[in-house]
C-alpha cells in the first residue's frame, strides 16, 4: 500500500475504489464511476505491492510500475534526493482502470528516490512512495520451510525452534539498511488470477530487528533473509537488495502454478465455492491476527491435540476427532492455482532479478493419481512463472530468469536400515524430481539440504543428539543459514556470471558421472563443481549406497563402500559374486531421512566435495 493508515481520507477513497474496481463484476462499474465522479477528488494510487522503503529492479532492466486510477490519464514522476534526478511521463489509463509504465533503467546505488503518481486533470490527487531504492529484487516462495521465520514458529527468537543463533542474527539485521523486505499476506486465495494483492502482511520495510525478528506469524522468512543478506555482501555491500516473501505452509506445488501449466501434467481439479476464500472489497486498515493457516505446517509425526497448536505450527495436522472444539483447515490453499492466482500473479508486473523456492514436502507424501508428479508440475510451474513475469513487466524480466530451489532436507523417522517403506520411496522420488529439474530446465540452480536435518527437540539449535531424540526428525530444521549460503552459490553462477569452477559457483554438490562394473565391484566417479576433483569420504556404518542386480526390482541396501583416490568403490556381496551377478542400477541416499542415523558422523553424508564441502546429491542411475 502506498500510504500508512494515518494518512489522508483521499488515500482511503483511492484504496476503496481501486479494490472494488478490481474485484467486482463489470456490471457494477458504472455505479462505481458515478460514485467517483460525485466525489470532489479522483482516485489514483499504486498497486498494493508498492510502499515506502521499497526496492525497484535496477539497470540494465527497467522497473515496471503500475496502479489504478479513475482518471483517464496519470502523470508518473521519479525524483532523486534534493532534486538531483527528475523523470516525468504521462500514462493513459486502460479501460479496467489500470495504468502502467516503464521507468528509465536506473543504476543500483544507495541514492533514494520519491515515486509519485497523480491525475493529469487534478494534480493534487495521487500518491507518493518515499525512500525508494534501485537494486536487485528477488522473490522467495514455497511452503513452511520458506515461511519459517528467523524467530521460528514460536513466540520468541529464543525459543526451541528458532533458527540457529537467532538472537544474534535478529540483532544484526540493523546493519543492513540497504536490504528491504516485504511479506505477502496469506489470508486469501482465488480461483482466477488477481490483478492486485488482496493483502500485504508486511509492507516494504528497512531491515531491522523488528522487520526480521519475531516468531511465526512474525517476520521475516529465514531462508529468504539469509540468501538476501549474503547476496548483498557478495555484491560488495553497496547494491540494495529487495526481498519479496510469498509462501504458505503445508501447500503442494499445484497451488502455486496456473491452471494452464498444470493441465499439461493432468493434475487440475475444480475449486468449489466452499473452497474459495473471499477477497475483501477493502482490507482492514490494520490486519487482524491471521486465522489458522494450515495443517501440515508443524513437526512430522506429532499430531496436534488443539487447533491453537496447529495454527502455531507446533505439530502436524490437527485431528478434529481428538479435539472437536476447533479445526485446522487450509481450505482453498491446497487447490490447483489458488495461491498462484492470489499471491504470485499480482506480483508478476514487478520487474525482478530472480526467484528462490523451498517446497516439496507436501508433494512428497501425496497419494492417489497425483503422487510422484512433481517431475512434471514443478518444471511446469517454473516455466509458467517465467512467462507471466516476462509478459507482466513488458519484457523487462527475463523469460528465463534465474530460478533457484532447495532439495528437501531429511525428516520423519530416520530408518536407514532395511526394510524401507513407501514414504522413503516417495520422498526420495521428490528429491530426484528436483535434481532432474536442475538438469532439464535452463538457468536453474539447486541447494541441497539433505544433510541439514535436526531431531525434534533441537530444531532451532545444534540439536544433534540421536540418543535423546524423540525418534523423528523435525521437518523445520533450524539450520537455515547454510541453505541461504548454498542458494547464493548457485545465484552467483547463474544470475551474476561468476565462474562455477572458481569455488563460488553451483550449490548442488558433486553429482554421479560414470561407473565401472565388474562381478566383484562397482567403481563410481563424480562430477564436482569446483576446480578440484578431490572428495571427502565419511566411513559411516550405513554407506547409503544401494545396488540392484535385477533392473531395480530389488535392492541390496548399504553395500560396503570405500574411497579409492577420487572414486568410491562399492563391493559386491560374496554370494552375488558366486552367482556371477552383475549390478544393473545404483542409487544413493534413497530414503526419507538419510545421513541422520545414530551411526552417522554427526549428520554427515558419506561423500562430500573437498573444496566446497557440499554433499553428493541423491541419485539413481542405470549401470
**CATH value at residue 579:** 2.60.40
Domain boundary among 93, 111, 133: 133
The cell for 473 is: 526428525
Lowest mean pLDDT among 70-74, 144-148, 415-419: 415-419
| pLDDT for the residue numbered 370 | 64
CATH of the domain at 21: 2.60.40.10
| pLDDT for the residue numbered 435 | 92
| pLDDT for the residue numbered 478 | 80
What is the rounded average pLDDT for all residues in the chain? 78
Listed ranges 142-146, 160-164, 215-219, 495-499; the one with the highest mean pLDDT: 142-146
Confidence band (pLDDT; 50, 70, 90) for 459?
low
pTM for this structure? 0.83
C-alpha span between 340 and 356 (Å, rounded)? 15
Check residues 299 and 242 and name the one with the higher pLDDT.
242
Q: Do you know the residue count of the chain? A: 623
C-alpha span between 276 and 271 (Å, rounded)? 7
| pLDDT for the residue numbered 304 | 47
The cell for 441 is: 530446465
For residue 460, give the nearest of 483, 477, 474, 473 by alpha carbon. Answer: 477
| pLDDT for the residue numbered 189 | 78
Confidence band (pLDDT; 50, 70, 90) for 507?
low
Check residues 175 and 465 and name the one with the higher pLDDT.
175
Listed ranges 18-32, 232-246, 593-607; the one with the highest mean pLDDT: 232-246
Confidence band (pLDDT; 50, 70, 90) for 474?
confident
Residue 104 forms part of a structural domain: yes
Check residues 600 and 276 and name the one with the higher pLDDT.
600
pLDDT tens, residue by residue, 551-582? 989 999 999 999 999 999 999 988 888 787 89
Residue 69 forms part of a structural domain: yes
Half-sphere exposure of 236 (CA within 13 A, CB side): 8
3-state secondary structure of 311: helix
314 pLDDT more than 60: no
Residue 109 forms part of a structural domain: yes
Percentage of the chain exceeding pLDDT 90? 50
C-alpha span between 537 and 565 (Å, rounded)? 10
Confidence band (pLDDT; 50, 70, 90) for 531?
low
Listed ranges 14-28, 31-45, 205-219; the one with the highest mean pLDDT: 205-219
Average pLDDT for residues 58-73, to the nearest whole number?
A: 96
C-alpha span between 145 and 165 (Å, rounded)? 17
C-alpha span between 424 and 420 (Å, rounded)? 6
| pLDDT for the residue numbered 13 | 28
Residue 180 forms part of a structural domain: no
| pLDDT for the residue numbered 303 | 45
| pLDDT for the residue numbered 135 | 98
Count of domains observed in the chain: 2
Maximum Cα interatomic distance, the chain, rounded to a whole number of Å: 94
Domain boundary among 78, 103, 133: 133
313 pLDDT more than 50: no
Helical spans, DSSP H, in 29-122: 29-38
| pLDDT for the residue numbered 416 | 52
Average pLDDT for residues 346-357, to the nearest whole number?
A: 98
pLDDT tens, residue by residue, 330-350? 444 567 888 999 999 999 999
Boundaries of domain holding 33? 9-133
Residue 520 forms part of a structural domain: yes
| pLDDT for the residue numbered 542 | 84
Query: What is the CB neighbour count within 10 angstroms for residue 503?
Result: 15
pLDDT tens, residue by residue, 229-287? 999 999 999 999 999 999 988 889 999 999 888 888 876 554 333 333 333 333 323 22
Average pLDDT for residues 588-593, to the nearest whole number?
A: 90
Domain boundary among 73, 103, 133: 133
Q: What is the DSSP string of 489-543?
A: HHHHHHTS---GGGTTS-SS--EEEEEEE-SSEEEEEEE-SSS---EEE---SS-
C-alpha span between 492 and 612 (Å, rounded)? 15
C-alpha span between 141 and 150 (Å, rounded)? 16
Residue 86 forms part of a structural domain: yes
Lowest mean pLDDT among 89-103, 178-192, 366-380, 493-507: 493-507
Give yes or no for a cis peptide into 220 (omega within 30° of 0).
yes
Check residues 452 and 158 and name the one with the higher pLDDT.
452
| pLDDT for the residue numbered 158 | 47
Confidence band (pLDDT; 50, 70, 90) for 166?
confident
Average pLDDT for residues 498-519, to the nearest whole number?
A: 74
535 pLDDT more than 80: yes
| pLDDT for the residue numbered 30 | 26
Instruction: Confirm if 568 and 562 have CB atoms less than 8 A apart.
Output: yes
438 pLDDT more than 80: yes
Average pLDDT for residues 289-317, to the nearest whole number?
A: 40
Lowest mean pLDDT among 14-18, 224-228, 360-364: 14-18
For residue 358, give the nearest of 466, 234, 221 by alpha carbon. Answer: 221
From residue 176, give the alpha-carbon distance in Å to each of 229, 239, 323, 440.
Answer: 8, 11, 45, 36
| pLDDT for the residue numbered 602 | 60
C-alpha span between 579 and 362 (Å, rounded)? 43
Average pLDDT for residues 360-382, to the nearest whole number?
A: 84
2 pLDDT more than 80: no
C-alpha span between 254 and 340 (Å, rounded)? 9
Residue 451 forms part of a structural domain: no
| pLDDT for the residue numbered 300 | 29
| pLDDT for the residue numbered 43 | 87
| pLDDT for the residue numbered 455 | 58
Residue 317 forms part of a structural domain: no
Check residues 615 and 329 and name the one with the higher pLDDT.
615
Amino acid at each position: 500500500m502506498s500510504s500508512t493508515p494515518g494518512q489522508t481520507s483521499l488515500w482511503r477513497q483511492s484504496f476503496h475504489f481501486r479494490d472494488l474496481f478490481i474485484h467486482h463484476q463489470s456490471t457494477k462499474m458504472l455505479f462505481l464511476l458515478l460514485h467517483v465522479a460525485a466525489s470532489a477528488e479522483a482516485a489514483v494510487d499504486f498497486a498494493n505491492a508498492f510502499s515506502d522503503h521499497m526496492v525497484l529492479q535496477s539497470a540494465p532492466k527497467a522497473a515496471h510500475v503500475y496502479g489504478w486510477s479513475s482518471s483517464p490519464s496519470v502523470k508518473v514522476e521519479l525524483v532523486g534526493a534534493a532534486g538531483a534526478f527528475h523523470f516525468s511521463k504521462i500514462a493513459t489509463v486502460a479501460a479496467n482502470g489500470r495504468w502502467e509504465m516503464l521507468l528509465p533503467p536506473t543504476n543500483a546505488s544507495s541514492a533514494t528516490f520519491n515515486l509519485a503518481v497523480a491525475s493529469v486533470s487534478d494534480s493534487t490527487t495521487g500518491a507518493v512512495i518515499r525512500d525508494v531504492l534501485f537494486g536487485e529484487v528477488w522473490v522467495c516462495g514455497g511452503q513452511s520451510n520458506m515461511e519459517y521465520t528467523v524467530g521460528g514458529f514460536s513466540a520468541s527468537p529464543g525459543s526451541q525452534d528458532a533458527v540457529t543463533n537467532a538472537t544474534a542474527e535478529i540483532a544484526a539485521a540493523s546493519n543492513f539498511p540497504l536490504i528491504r523486505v516485504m511479506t505477502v499476506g496469506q489470508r486469501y486465495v482465488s480461483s482466477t488470477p488477481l490483478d492486485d494483492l488482496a493483502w500485504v502482511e508486511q509492507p516494504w520495510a528497512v531491515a531491522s530487528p523488528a522487520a526480521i525478528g519475531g516468531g511465526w506469524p512474525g517476520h521475516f522468512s529465514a531462508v529468504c533473509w539469509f540468501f538476501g543478506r549474503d547476496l548483498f555482501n557478495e555484491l560488495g555491500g553497496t547494491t540494495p537488495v529487495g526481498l519479496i516473501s510469498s509462501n504458505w505452509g503445508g501447500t503442494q506445488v499445484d497451488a502455486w502454478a496456473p491452471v494452464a501449466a498444470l493441465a499439461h501434467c493432468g493434475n487440475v481439479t475444480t475449486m468449489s465455492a466452499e473452497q474459495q476464500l473471499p477477497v475483501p472489497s477493502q482490507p482492514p486498515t490494520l490486519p487482524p491476527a491471521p486465522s489458522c493457516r494450515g495443517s501440515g505446517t508443524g513437526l512430522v509425526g506429532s499430531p496436534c491435540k488443539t487447533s491453537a497448536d496447529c495454527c502455531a505450527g507446533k505439530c502436524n495436522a490437527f485431528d478434529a476427532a481428538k479435539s472437536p472444539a476447533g479445526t485446522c483447515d487450509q481450505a482453498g490453499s491446497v487447490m490447483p492455482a489458488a495461491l498462484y492466482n492470489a499471491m504470485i500473479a499480482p506480483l508478476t508486473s514487478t520487474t525482478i532479478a530472480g526467484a528462490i523456492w523451498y517446497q516439496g514436502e507436501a508433494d512428497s507424501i501425496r497419494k492417489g493419481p497425483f503422487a510422484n508428479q512433481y517431475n512434471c508440475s514443478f518444471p511446469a510451474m517454473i516455466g509458467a512463472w517465467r512467462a507471466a513475469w516476462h509478459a507482466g513487466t513488458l519484457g523487462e524480466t527475463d523469460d528465463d530468469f534465474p530460478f533457484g530451489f532447495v532439495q528437501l532436507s531429511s525428516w520423519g523417522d530416520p530408518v536407514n536400515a532395511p526394510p524401507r517403506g513407501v514414504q522413503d520411496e516417495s520422498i526420495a522420488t521428490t528429491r530426484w524430481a528436483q535434481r532432474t529439474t536442475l538438469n532439464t530446465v535452463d538457468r536453474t540452480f539447486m541447494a541441497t539440504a539433505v544433510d541439514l536435518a535436526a531431531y525434534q527437540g533441537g530444531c532451532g539449535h545444534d540439536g544433534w543428539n540421536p540418543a535423546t531424540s524423540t525418534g523423528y526428525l523435525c521437518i523445520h530444521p533450524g539450520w537455515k543459514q547454510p541453505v541461504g549460503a548454498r542458494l547464493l552459490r548457485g545465484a552467483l553462477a547463474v544470475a551474476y556470471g561468476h565462474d562455477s569452477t572458481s569455488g563460488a559457483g553451483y550449490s548442488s554438490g558433486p553429482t554421479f558421472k560414470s561407473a565401472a562394473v565388474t562381478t566383484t565391484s562397482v567403481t563410481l566417479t563424480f562430477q564436482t563443481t569446483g576446480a578440484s576433483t578431490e572428495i571427502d569420504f565419511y566411513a559411516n556404518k550405513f554407506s547409503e549406497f544401494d545396488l540392484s542386480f535385477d533392473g531395480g526390482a530389488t535392492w541390496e541396501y548399504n553395500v560396503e563402500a570405500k574411497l579409492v583416490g577420487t572414486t568410491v568403490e562399492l563391493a559386491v556381496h560374496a554370494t552375488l559374486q558366486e552367482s556371477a551377478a552383475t549390478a544393473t542400477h545404483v542409487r544413493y541416499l534413497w530414503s526419507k531421512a538419510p545421513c541422520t542415523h545414530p551411526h552417522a558422523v554427526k549428520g554427515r553424508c558419506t561423500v562430500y566435495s573437498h573444496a566446497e564441502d557440499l554433499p553428493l546429491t541423491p541419485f539413481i542411475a542405470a549401470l
